[in-house]
Structure formats: C-alpha cells, structure tokens
Structure 1
Amino acid sequence: MSGGVDSSVVAAMAASTGAETIGITLQLYDHGAAISRVGSCCAGQDIRDARAVADKLGIAHYVFDHESQFRETVIEQFADEYLAGRTPIPCVRCNMGVKFTDLLRIARELDADCLATGHYVRRIEGKNGAELHRAADPARDQSYFLFATTQEQLDYLRFPLGDLPKDRVRELANMVSLSVANKPDSQDICFVPDGDYAKIVRKVRPDADDAGNIVHIYSGEILGAHKGLIHYTVGQRRGLEIGGLAEPLYVIKLDAASKNVLVGPKSALAVGAARLVNPNWLEDIEGRSVLAKVRSLARPVSAVLRGDQLIFDSPEYGVAPGQAAVIYDAEGHVLGGAWIEETVSADMMASA
C-alpha cells in the first residue's frame, strides 16, 4: 500500500472478498523530510494515507523501513548510471528489488496466499502458467516497468486493476468512501519531486559535475563546452547552448570515458539494432518476429532477436543504453525483456 488510490482500491477489493487482508507499506524515504512531499509514494503523508485506508477497511497494516535498501539499490544506482552516460529507469530497479523481492519475501513470511498490487497490468493464466499482459487501458499500462518479473513471482502476484480504466478505480474508491479517492497520482520518478535529476545525482555523487566538450559526432569539431554529462540524455535537443549552426543538433551519445557529449543531426539518432544484457525471458523468442518497446512512452515496433542482438525492422529513434527493451507479441503478451547495453546505428547496419 503506497498510499495512493490504486493500491488502496486493491486493498478494498481484497477485503470485500472476506479473506484476511494485510496491508504492507515500505517506507522508502526519511519520514521527516518527506512528510509533505507532493507526487511521491511510500513516504511521509503517503504512509499516513495508507494507514488511514487500512483503518477504514478494518485490516491490519504494517510499515517496514526499507530506506537504506532503496537508497543503495535504486537512488545510488540511478546516480551511477547517469555518471556512466546512460539513461536509467529507476522504477524498474525498484520493482526488481524492494517491491517484488523484499515485498514478496515479507508476504511469504506472513504466510499470505498471494501478493496483490495496484499496477496496471493483466495476469492471465496460460497453458504454461501465469502470463503477464498489457493493461486493458493503454494509457495506464505499466508492463514496461515490470518486464523483469520472473515466472515464480508471477505465479504469486495478482493485479486486480489490469482490466479497469483509472476513472473506474476512482469510482470504486468513492463508493467505499476512501480518503484517497481523488488523490493525485504519483509522478514517474518518486524521489525526484521537482524533476531536477541533476540535483539528485549531485547530492549522491558530489563529483558529478565534471565538465567536458560538446563534439560533432561526424566531424569531431568541438562546438562548445558542457557542465557535466548528468545534464544530458540521448535525443535531447534543447539546452545544448551551441547556437549559430545551420541545422539543429541532437545528443547522439554520452561518452563517459572522454566526458564528451556527442551531437549530430537527427538522422544520426537512427538505430538499427541494440545489444541486450541481463535478460528475463518468459518465453523463447529467438528468431521470432516480435514487438519491442524501447522507451516507456514509445510505441512497440517490429523487431527480431538474434542472440543478444535486437534488430529493428525499421530504424528506431531515441534508443539509449541504460533503458530497457521489452518484448511483446501481437496480443500484448509480455514475452520478457532486457537492458540495452549499446546501440548500432542504422548507417552502420546498412553498410555491413
């Protein structure tokens, strides 16, 4: 129970069945510092909200302090990824660690039959066991962030909201008079409340602002200077401060070794393939024509996996190391996913 409307409604749904229901909240931040933070989850006021909902439903509620684990496995890794010139996805790391590892362990220690969460994904029983599918409401689907869920975890998890639109969830919350019925949703990265990623990285890694050059990826010409790789992401156009050029330039690559930001025309962003590491395959997809989603807000595109290479049918843009490639079939069944280690430009693929 993160303190939001989604997990609160799941708790209400579970309690309404007559089953013994236990609410669990993981405290992920310092309680004092986060007491009034807006757009967070699992901190301060959110813990109070979760407890109020549990009291309303008449169910047990436990809070477990996982602040140190969250800092080490999510926040510090987030900072280190940026310093390495990569684009991290802390929500996936959180699901892989404190949520679907620690939470499952706690649930099993409590001898629970299952763990239900407020994620918008569908769990469907297939011929080989539980399957993970995209949510019925595409605007709320969170399957991209859950690609690392293992088969063993899927067998134990339940996602009651996967078939519901958000408006219906709020209606259900109002029907049982939950105080969080109209509470705003938490933001994508809960520990960056103001959207300033660089500030978080500097706080965790004080030496993060190492300056370097902005270099044209084709000519090698130095076009300007920057104040640290942490201020840039692949595909970025604004904020480069290198005006007076004949064509707009985009961030193509962040070179942590040289501390250079490599820029070029939009065509240089075209990626033909990506090398994947640390996969979690729920089915064998070698050589299959599949749909690949390479950013949380991207549409799935046609691709094929050969070894550790994800080869796109058509050039894909905005593919960045550190992000995830999540693989689906045409029906929205999550077949697994992996981390993008490096990319191969479409031009290089064409000339090979």
Structure 2
Amino acid sequence: MPLDRAPKLNSLGFAKPPSETRVVVAMSGGVDSSVVAAKLADEGYDVVGVTLQLYDHGAALAKKGACCAGIDIHDARRVAEEKGFPHYVLDYENIFQDAVIDEFADSYLAGATPVPCIRCNERVKFKDLLETAKDLDADCMATGHYIQRKMGPNGPELHSAADASRDQSYFLFSTTREQLDYLRFPLGHLPSKDATRALAAEYGLAVADKPDSQDICFVPNGDYASVIEKLRPGAAEPGDIVDPDGNVLAQHEGVIHYTIGQRRGLGIGGLSEPLYVVKLDVDTKQVVVGPKSMLATRVVPVREINWLGDEPLESRKEWHIKVRVRSTRAPSDAILRPIGPDNVEVELLTPEQGISPGQACVFYDPDSSRIFGGGWIWRGY
C-alpha cells in the first residue's frame, strides 16, 4: 500500500493551488504592502486589494510621508490595475476617529505618551478590516508588516522579523491567537528593506523608490501638541514647572507640550546640571523636572495583557524573559511576575530611562525570536 502523504501546502499554508486561494492584501499605498500584493498576484493567488481611508483626503495630500489617504490611495489603486486584481477603498474615517484618534488625544491630556499605531493595528486593521476580509470569503489576510508568523507545535507563533532594524513586533504585540491564525506576513523573512525595494523594481512597481511613511500618520511633522489642541480646544491649561521639592522654576502652556525624558525646550536657564522631565502631574498641572538619575526605572506595572505563550500566564510565579519598553530600544533581560489575568509587574534587570505611562511593554522569549505578547505601561496598581 502506498504511504499516506500530507497534502502539499502552498506558500500561504493552504493545501490547494494558489489560484483557488483568496487573499485580501491590506494596501496602504506604500512599497511594502504593494510588494506583498504584487508578489502574491505573480504567484497566481486570487488577490483582492483593500485600502482604508482613515482621515480627510485634503489634509493628507498636503502632508508628505502620510499613509492611508490621498496620494497613497491612488498609488495602491495603480498597483492593483497594473497587476490585474480588484481593489477596494473603504471609508474608515469615523472608525479611526473613535478607535484611535480620540484615545490618542485623551491619553495625552491625561499625561501619558500613547502609541496610536498599535491601537490602529489592534482595533482597525486586525479587527474591522480582518472581518471584512472574511466577508469577502478570503482564506487569509496579508500585510506588509515586518514580522514573522511561524508554525509551532501548538499552532502559529509570532516571531520578530529577520531584519532587526525593520522589525515591527513592538507595534504588533496585541495580535491575538485568533488573528494570527488568519494573518500572513510575506515580508518578515527578508534580510533588508533593500530586498523589498529590489522586489518592487522586479515587479515594475512605480512605488519602488517611494519614501517610507514617517511619524504618526495623522500628526504632521511630529507636532503632537498642535493636533491635541485642534482635537480638544482649550483643554491644555498652563501651569508650573517645578523641581522634585515643588519649587517653581518656570511656567508652561500645558502638559501636552512635554514628555517623560524630555530635556530640550524647558525654558529653564542658569542651571548647574541638565534637567529632564521626570513626571507629568495632570491634576496639579505641574511638569516635574529633575536630574537624569531620576528617570531610571526598574519596576514597571503593565496591564491589558495579550499573552501568546504556550503555557498560561499565571502558571508560573515568575517568567524570565526579555522586554522592550520603547520601539527604538532592543529587548533587555527582565522578570515578569503575574498579578492577575490582566496585570503583571515587570522587573528590569538593568534600569531603563524615560519610561512613560501609555507606552507598550512587549515580551520576548530570551532563547528565540518568538514574541510572548505584551501590555500597556501605566502608573500603578
């Protein structure tokens, strides 16, 4: 008798020909998602491109390096036309406003430093758009994110990108197991962004040399304060800049103009040592400044945990892992102690500076590229 053989899987992990595999590609109009769409179309998949319009066309057209509006919608549509697959634009302005922009504004006014790109992935792209992909009878949804999905003994796992300089795991830690079943990341294994651009040139894409998007898409030139003032007129109130003992050193025009760890633009002269923002007290409208040593943090409270480990989070009293507390920093050694199903305490073995409520804390396996999930940094229990 012939030996039983497992059916051969296509490159997206399905036991059927690419032509019978429908994949929705989330297209922002940039080079990464355009390459994903062109690559899959070239391999014979039944590709459907979808672009989300997240905010006003006119405002986006005036801003270089934006995404998901204006010229980027045009670029995504052009790639679809050139490669011969259908492309749809969905108006998600109201959803984006409610799920991302409003929380961004309120978090800043509360003295936090939010990361809206994470919320956009969590609440818009990997939630509503993913459901739309299912409504289109797609077998999966693919994106241009630099992260890897690998099959493990207990199902799909989330892993860092092969190119550490492009890795986007910090922004995707809240991806759930159910979402991971459905998502695909065809660029995560590539060695560099140059390799992506080479593919774009190979496929003849007009966006091959298009610059990467910069900053937060709805924040022109990184000027957070001006965006908050437009969203919440009159909410920024003046107050005092004080030292740790409460002595008034200067005045400010609103805590939204400051972030933890900030040194420049404090308007304090004649000091013997540099001062940094060490605390934002919204209730008293105070910006507290102090020496750099006061920025060092060892114990970090984290909540809203998304756990992707094989064992339950609370199955151990301690987890020896690596964590990343800012997108620009490499993972460092830490001890994670569960306090409940949704809260943990993270002890950093080497104190970090400039940690702020509202930022993410992402968990990594110390012995591999696997991501164990993460949560949100907050002030205390």
| TM above 0.5 | yes
Of 325, 328, 340, which aligns to 2:377? 340
TM-score if structure 1 supplies the norm length?
0.95
Deviation at 1:75, TM superposition (A): 1.3
**Any residues of structure 2 matched to 1:221-236 within 5 Å, and which?**
221-236=247-262
Q: Deviations over 1:15-48 (max 9, x none)?
A: 1221210000000111233234310111000000
Is residue 189 of structure 1 aligned with residue 216 of structure 2?
yes
Alignment: residue pair count? 343
Paired residues of 1:32 and 1:44 also in contact (CA < 8 A): yes
Aligned partners of 1:19 and 1:176: how far apart in 2?
15
Q: 1:87 maps to which residue?
A: 113
Aligned partners of 1:35 and 1:241: how far apart in 2?
35
Q: Deviations over 1:307-335 (max 9, x none)?
A: 22111112111111000100001212110
Letter of the 1:303 counterpart:
A
Q: 2:203 maps to which residue?
A: 176
Moved more, 319-328 or 239-248: 239-248
Q: 2:307 maps to which residue?
A: 281
Unaligned runs of 5+ in 2: 1-26
Letter of the 2:202 counterpart:
M
Q: 2:333 maps to which residue?
A: 302
Q: Secondary structure at the match of 1:244?
A: coil
Of 86, 96, 101, which aligns to 1:70? 96
**Any residues of structure 2 matched to 1:1-352 within 5 Å, and which?**
1-164=27-190, 165-217=192-244, 219-283=245-309, 284-285=312-313, 286=316, 287-306=318-337, 307=339, 308-330=344-366, 331-342=368-379
Letter of the 1:302 counterpart:
D
Aligned partners of 2:354 and 2:371: how far apart in 1?
22
Unaligned runs of 5+ in 1: 345-352
Paired residues of 2:109 and 2:236 also in contact (CA < 8 A): no
Paired residues of 1:208 and 1:230 also in contact (CA < 8 A): no
Deviation at 1:301, TM superposition (A): 1.2
Aligned partners of 2:211 and 2:330: how far apart in 1?
26
Q: Deviations over 1:56-81 (max 9, x none)?
A: 01000000000111112111111111
Aligned partners of 1:2 and 1:314: how far apart in 2?
38
Q: Secondary structure at the match of 1:101?
A: helix
TM-score if structure 2 supplies the norm length?
0.88
Aligned partners of 1:229 and 1:54: how far apart in 2?
45
Aligned partners of 1:187 and 1:99: how far apart in 2?
19
Deviation at 1:343, TM superposition (A): 6.3
Aligned partners of 2:285 and 2:62: how far apart in 1?
37
Letter of the 2:242 counterpart:
V
Q: 1:350 maps to which residue?
A: none
Aligned partners of 1:196 and 1:188: how far apart in 2?
9
Q: Deviations over 1:225-277 (max 9, x none)?
A: 11101110000001111111111110001111111011111110011111111
Q: Percent identity?
A: 58
Letter of the 1:299 counterpart:
A
Deviation at 1:207, TM superposition (A): 1.7
Moved more, 55-64 or 204-213: 204-213
Structure 1 vs Structure 2 CA RMSD: 1.2
Aligned partners of 2:135 and 2:377: how far apart in 1?
35
Q: Secondary structure at the match of 1:336?
A: strand
Deviation at 1:209, TM superposition (A): 2.4
Letter of the 2:68 counterpart:
C
